[in-house]
Structures are given as C-alpha cells and as structure tokens.
Amino acid sequence: MSNSRTVEISIDHILSELAAFPLCSSIPLNRPLISIDCDLNGATKHLWRQTEIHFTSRFPHIGLDELISMRNSIWFGDCAEGTRSLADYVKWLASRWLVSRGANAEPKSPSRNQEKEAYDPVARRAWRWMTFSLPGDLLLAGLSQNGRGPVRVNMLAPAVEALLRNGGYAETHLHLGAALDFSTAWASAMNLVGRGAGLAQAMKCEAFASAGAEHEEGVHLSQWLIRAAIVRYFLGAFLAKRTRVESFQAYMMELEEKQVLQHRFFNPGHFPVVRRAFQDLFQGNITTFYSGFPETFKLMQNAYNALTRASIRPLPKQLDQVQNLDPLSDFFNVNGHAGPSVQLQFLQNGLDYLGRSPDDKLFATLFWQVERVRGQIYRHCIQRPLTPGLMNFIRFYDRKGAITGLLKDIEFESAGALGGIGHGLASLEVRSSPSSDYHSQLSELSKWKQQIMQLRKRNYKNEATLQHRRNGRLQTDAWKNVECGVVLHYLKFRGQHSDRGTPLAFDQENHADPSAKQNSSGFRWQAFSRHTQKRSDVIRHTLKRFPDLLFLLRGLDACRDEHGVPTWVISPMFKAVHEGVRQISERERAHSKPEPPRLRSTVHVGEDFVHLATGLRYMDEAIEHIPLNGGDRVGHGLALGIEPAEWALRAMRIAMSREDRWLDLIWERNWHSRHGSQFTSNRRTYVEDEIIRLSNCIFQDNNFTWTPQNADQFIQWLHNPKALNRLGFPSSMLPRGLESDPLAFQLGRYLTEPGIYRRCREIEWVSVSDDADALIELQRLVRLRYANTGITIEVNPVSNLLIGDLSDLKKHPLWRITPGLGNDVGATLRICVGSDDPLPFATTLPEEYQFLFDSLVLAGRSQAEARVWLEHIRQAGMESRFTTPPLPVGLEK
C-alpha cells in the first residue's frame, strides 16, 4: 500500500522566505553580501545556489521554473541588469508588502500587479506569512524617508476594530512567559548579552542551545550575537553622532587616534577583543580566540559591558521603560512601548545613511551582518512554518528564555498591551506554572496582584487629568475596569531525552519507563507524579491560607506535551486542588464569609496526536477524568473539527505505538454499547479481536485470559486514583498477594514491568482507511458530548496554523464545529479566541480576530456575514471567561 501524503504550502510563505533569504538567512551571514547582482556574480551566485538547494528540498511540488520566476519577481523586480544594493532591496520589498499611511503602514499583496485598496484580506494574509520569515520592523524602516517613517503595521480592518472596541472582548488563552513582542525581547537581548557570570541575570555561552536549531543546534548563536552587539553599538554611535567624518572607517580611526575609548574600557585587553568582533562579523566566520568559544564569549561579553554599562542599567518596572535596556538608547530617543523603538530608529537612520553614502562598503557590510544576526535570532525564536506538532513547538517556546530574562516585572503589562488594553480588552487571563514550594507560590501570586494594583493605581492617580495619548498609545485609565486573572498550568514532560531531541530507542529513560533512574519505586510516571503532586499541594496550602486569592487565581490547566503524558497521570492533580477549594468554600460559608468564586479548569487536548482517534480519546478523557464541566474550557480541540474521511485519505497508513492503538480501541469499544451510537457489527467484531490481540502482545501472560470486558475494567482502574493508591502508586511498592486478584495483578505489572513498557512502545502499522467510518461516528459522539456539557473550545488561529500545519486559516477545523455558517456537521460548539503565545507566533489577540474575519471573507462570505459571526464569537469569549470583576481599589489588599 502506498503511503503518499499531500503537502499544501501557502504561496505567500514561499514568497516571504524568498524575500527574507538575502537579509536573514545563515547563507549570506557566512558569505556576506551587500547587494544583489542580476548577473549572479560572486556572492549572489553562491546565495542563489544555496537558496535553490534549500527550497527544492524544503518545498516539494515547486518546480525550478516557477521558483526562478518568483525569485526574479522578488529579488530583481524592475532591476533587469547591474546590481541592487540591499538598502534599495529593502525599500523594494517594503513597497511590495506595505503602504505608508502616516504613523501606520498597512499591508498590500506582493502577488498582485496593481495596488489594491486598504484593509484587503489578501494583503493581510501575505503580511502574516512575512512575519514568520523576518522582523517586520526591517520592512517598516524601508518605508522611511530622511530617517522617519511609519512605526507600526495596522492589521485591523475598521469593522473589526470597531467591533472589539465597542463590544469588549476577553483574552482566554495566553501564556504569560510568551506575552511579549520581538521588539521588546530584542531590547532585552541587547542588554542581556552583556551580563556575564556572577550577575543575577546573565547570558551564558550556550544560552541558545536547542535541538534542531541552526548554528550547531544553537550552540554558536550567542557567539554571533555578542559580536553583532559590539559592532551595532559603534554603528549606532556613528549614525547618531557623525558630523565631520566621511565614512564609518574614518569615524573608527578618529576614535582610535583621539583615544576616545580609553576612559570607557579601563582594560587594554578589551581592544583586541573588539577588533576580533569586527573582523569575525565582517568576514562572516566566528573562529576560536584565545582558549576557545566559551572564553571568547566571556571576553567579548566583558568588553561589551564595559563599553555599554549594560549590567548597571536599571531593570524596567513599566513597559515604557523597556527600550532603556537597549544600549543604543544612548544615541536614540526612548519613546515608550507604542512609539518607534530604538532598533527601528537605528534601521531608519542606517538605511538613510546607506542611501546617501552607497560607497561606504565597510558600514554596509557590518550593518547588514548585524541585521542578519538579528534575523537569525528572530527565526530561532519564532515558530517556523511546516514544522507541525507540539514536540517541535516546545523547542521554539523554550528558546525565548535566552532573551527575555530581564522582563519579568513587565510581563503582565505587556500581556495587556498585546491583548489590546485601551482598545476593547475587558478580560485578561494569563497562564503560568505553579511553584514547588509555598513561599514561592505565594510570592508569585502576590507579585501579579501587586502589578495589577499598581497599573490601576497609576491610572486612578491620573484620572482627574486624563488625556488621550496620540498615535495609538494607551489611554491612562485603560486598566481601570479590566478583569484580570491567573490560570496555573501543569506542564507535561515525557523526559529529558525527548525534550533534548535525542529520544532513546523505544523511549527508554522517559518518565513512563518504570526502569528509568528517576522512578526509584519502580512505577511508571512515579517521579513526574510526585513532582506534580507537590505543586498541587502547594496550591491547596496557599489557597487554604489565603482564600481571597481565588479572586485572582481563576483556573487550572495542563499544557505542553499533550501526547507525551496520559490523562490518568495528570487528572489526580486537578481533583486534589478542586477538592481543596471545595473545602475552603464550605469553611468560608460556615463562618459567614463571602464565598470565593468557583475555580475553573481548562486543558490542552485534541491538538497533537498521531491518529485522529487518539486526539478524540484525549478530549473524551478530559470530560470523564479531569473532569471538565459546564463553564470549563479546552484548549485547541482540533480533533473535533478535522474532517475524518479527508484526514484518513491523506494519512493512509501511519505508524503508532502499540499502547496508543490498544488504548484507542478499548476507548472506542466503550462507545459501541452506548445509547445512540452507530457502529457496524463488523467494526465491533474487529475492535474486540484487536483488543484481545494487542493485550496478549503487551502482557504475554498465558495464565490470564484477556477479554474486551476486562480490558475495559483495566482502563477504569487505571483512571481511578484510589485503585492506583491501593497498588502503592506512585511512591510505595507493589503489595504482595496481588495474584489473588488477576486483573489487579495485570495492572500492577503494567505499572512496574520494564518488559511490558518495552512492548507497549513497539510499532503498529495502521491502515487509516479502515478506521474512517468509525472516526466519523466517534467524532460525532464526542462532539455531542461537548455540546451537551457546555464546554467552550479555545481557538488560537495562528498557533493552530503553525502547530496544526494548516496551509491557510480557511482550512481551520473550527469551521466545521462553529454555529451560524450553514455548513455545520452535527452538534455545534461554543468557541472563544485567544492568542496563546504572542512571541513565538508573532501575533496579538486583536490580530487573531482579524485573521478569522479575513478567512471567512476569503472563503466567500460577505463582510457583513463575517462581522455577525465574529460578534457571536466575541460574546462567547466574554461569557466563557474565568475572570471576575475587579474589586474596588481600597479592597484589593
């Protein structure tokens, strides 16, 4: 049987990648170029050869003739001969993708020959893909004239902007650690790279190490960054202070002749280090210096810190202070979060200088090398398209930690800014991990509470003299009535080898392996369960001492590696905390105190799976065993909307673990006997036979006879914490005498025997076409259960676009489950919109609404229809929010 799988790739993605290659790829970083030669001479020839190799291997079904035509359009455009400087190239790209509207720029489509009117969905879609390829401010700078130009790209159509501003909307899915934009993170990176060992916040040489990353899996990226940071500081000083000198080389010679730097460096050893940074960046080759890479990084870090005083710059307490972290704030204005960033001013002035001094080759080479390094950091941290699945996303999410360590005190304010504070945001939920001890957890919750209070107090103080800031900046009373809440999420980890991208054969040494070193009692998931249970106990203890924190702590979540940790491992943690909150509520009621609001639950399910049945099982288990109830939510839930027949046709044949197949079939059989199910007799017979076969393959016990009935009982016990505790899970030992209860004995073997675990991880090849009809019925039944329970689905459009590997939001599974579009299949569900992770997805919450609006229009709906539907979704988000109205200022203590 063939196993062909159709790959769909957005043409906008291909055009964006082509446009970005001369500017941001590692190819011209290692062989620098400052212009594109239409005759393909020199570095341009090398760039094209490597580009062709990359694209033909990365983008199947794109022929060379089409690729060359697109290259000609993007790289050369109206330049048929000679060379085009990269400064002119950036301006050319900017004119293709953007149009200037004063302080704002608006997207346009590069694949159209004529200029279209503003607010075009096709143009916004093109720009959306461009933001995955390079930093948007690079093209914004291309619109500047005489060092000035637009400072932001407006992505909102008037209809969507008015709907959100006038109606109010909720941010229901946002991870606090990623609630930053790249401009903010870059300012932090330019400071953090100068902070060495011994400081509370420091950047280590291996800070960017990450499985699958470029530059030797990220190990060498910090070396590029420190060199770029040093050179960037001198370039910025030259742009800001040049008066008499004619070139950058003359400027550097003047600094050396007049010994301007001696009072700054103190240590003569810094001079050769700085020269080496210039030399390596100019040549595009980082080489060992002195005793090797770590020592080189340390020496350059010390020199950069001595030059910029990065380590003694105060950490920001407000979002408007972040740009002060960037050492180039010594030379360019700090305009707050909503104004032009220091980096944008650097770009604008750099392009202006290159336009007036095209012969300054040294400046041009170093300037573009600095920008290529920034582009590499950007592409290192921004989720790459065509890399689906949570295992890959986790790597991108973790990479942000290398550049955001100085921003802890402004994360909440940044979350509000990205959510649209002052522009209609009415409810803000953020998610973070629980702490491992009581004092840390109380301190964390208190910190967030204090940040919220300070934001509101700052606005109350200014209320009497309220002034509306111009150019899109926030109103000073924006936080006054916004509901704020925190959701603590349990993080799922399958094991360090998998997380590092080096999974051992058959997942040995993962947390699920009973023989793994960390599982000292010999149980599967023992170490992970104890780790998570400790955090549950901390939450319970904190809320018991301070029940009023339930007005801030609004829910629990489980996220990260959905496919890596089973429901039966994580569900006891939810139950323990909810039972503790129930007892707290009863105690408060008994003492005639105000009863705290109910703690809600949400969980990431139905997003990451090998077989669609597995995704549906995860979603059903969430209701059954977390358990989720009316008023709760689930994150993503793509499995409910994927078209099963189409999915089966594409997948055809898949390799999945024997354990997952076994669990899927036992779960499916449980549905066979339920009222209203519609499975054929042949399917029922097949499933029962497969359950018996797989059970015998896994357990290999001739003294026990497996049947579908006892397999179902086995699964029920597996999800029963009391049954597991009777077996000693997770911290004790298996009791003796289990042989008297044969099924309990098999459960004990499953939890403790390495041989069973090994056989569980073996591969089953599944012909998905045989499951197609059953998948249609299973999806209908699970969807009906969700509809009847009243659980809301959290949709994160850009997250789903990338992690779900969707070529276009028009293909998003949500369209099959949402009401009001006339194409509903079975029961429809409530959905709400969140931004998930703004930094790695390069998005904001208002843009998420806009993308959904545009997708409907591009699918043939009128703008009036799209607006009515979006209003329905906005209302559903407000109705399903976990937050509560803010207490009066005097009571928020």
Kindly give the pairing relationship between strand 600-605 and strand 483-492. Answer: unpaired
Contact yes or no for 751/720 (Cβ under 8 A): no
Residues 213 and 149 in one domain: no
- Chosen domain end from 367, 386, 405: 386
Reported as a pLDDT band with limits 50, 70 and 90, residue 492 is very high
What are 324's two structure tokens?
């002060």
Kindly give the pairing relationship between strand 104-107 and strand 152-153. Answer: parallel
pLDDT of 801 reads 84
Residues 151 and 186 in one domain: no
Domain presence at residue 347: yes
What are 343's two structure tokens?
């980096």
- Return the percentage of the chain with pLDDT > 90, whole number: 74
- Interatomic CA distance for residues 219 and 293, integer angstroms: 10
Residues 376 and 245 in one domain: yes
Identity (one letter) of the amino acid at 528?
F
Domain presence at residue 95: yes
Q: Is the pLDDT of residue 889 over 60?
A: no
pLDDT 10s digits, 654-693:
999 999 999 999 999 999 989 889 999 999 999 999 999 9
pLDDT of 62 reads 86
- Interatomic CA distance for residues 364 and 393, integer angstroms: 35
Domain presence at residue 212: yes
pLDDT of 387 reads 77
Could you write out the DSSP letters of every residue in 756-799? HHHHHTSEEEEEGGGGHHHHHHHHHHHHHHHHHHTPEEEE-HHH
pLDDT of 2 reads 46
Q: Is the pLDDT of residue 265 over 60?
A: no
pLDDT of 260 reads 64
Range of the domain at 53: 11-155
Residues 71 and 189 in one domain: no
- Interatomic CA distance for residues 172 and 384, integer angstroms: 24
Residues 186 and 142 in one domain: no
The torsion angle over the Cα atoms of residues 468, 473, 479 and 483, rounded to 10 degrees, is 130
In a 13 Å sphere around the CA of 128, the CA atoms on its Cβ side amount to 29
Residue of 343, 317, 335 lying closest to 190 (CA atoms): 343
Contact yes or no for 149/90 (Cβ under 8 A): no
Residue of 460, 546, 463, 469 lying closest to 886 (CA atoms): 460
Domain presence at residue 711: no
- Chosen domain end from 366, 386, 406: 386
Contact yes or no for 403/456 (Cβ under 8 A): no
Residues 140 and 194 in one domain: no
Residues 304 and 346 in one domain: yes
pLDDT of 604 reads 95
* Terminal-to-terminal C-alpha distance of the chain: 67
Alpha-carbon Rg for the chain, nearest whole angstrom, is 29
Domain presence at residue 227: yes
Reported as a pLDDT band with limits 50, 70 and 90, residue 822 is low
Residues 142 and 199 in one domain: no
pLDDT 10s digits, 196-230:
877 778 899 999 999 999 999 999 999 999 999 99
Residue of 531, 495, 522, 523 lying closest to 510 (CA atoms): 495
pLDDT of 476 reads 53
pLDDT of 111 reads 74
Residue of 140, 145, 101, 133 lying closest to 119 (CA atoms): 101
pLDDT 10s digits, 348-375:
999 999 999 999 999 999 999 999 999 9
Residues 55 and 198 in one domain: no
Contact yes or no for 217/210 (Cβ under 8 A): yes
DSSP class of residue 822? S
What are 664's two structure tokens?
């899927």
Give the mean model confidence (pLDDT) for residues 644-654.
91
Reported as a pLDDT band with limits 50, 70 and 90, residue 270 is confident
Q: Comparing 882 with 464, which gets the higher pLDDT? A: 882
What are 517's two structure tokens?
């070193």
Residues 242 and 138 in one domain: no
Q: Which of 69-73, 162-166, 169-173, 858-862 has the lowest mean pLDDT?
A: 858-862
DSSP class of residue 311? G
Residue of 578, 568, 572, 571 lying closest to 540 (CA atoms): 578
Q: Is the pLDDT of residue 741 over 90?
A: yes
- Chosen domain end from 350, 369, 386: 386
Reported as a pLDDT band with limits 50, 70 and 90, residue 400 is very high
- Interatomic CA distance for residues 59 and 76, integer angstroms: 21
- Interatomic CA distance for residues 175 and 486, integer angstroms: 10
Domain presence at residue 546: no
Number of compact structural domains in the chain: 2
Domain presence at residue 213: yes
pLDDT of 820 reads 66
**Residues 873, 555, 180, CA angle at the centre, nearest 5°?**
70
Residues 144 and 267 in one domain: no
Reported as a pLDDT band with limits 50, 70 and 90, residue 464 is very low
Give the mean model confidence (pLDDT) for residues 395-401.
92
Tell me if residue 715 falls in helix, strand or coil: helix
Domain presence at residue 59: yes
Residues 278 and 313 in one domain: yes
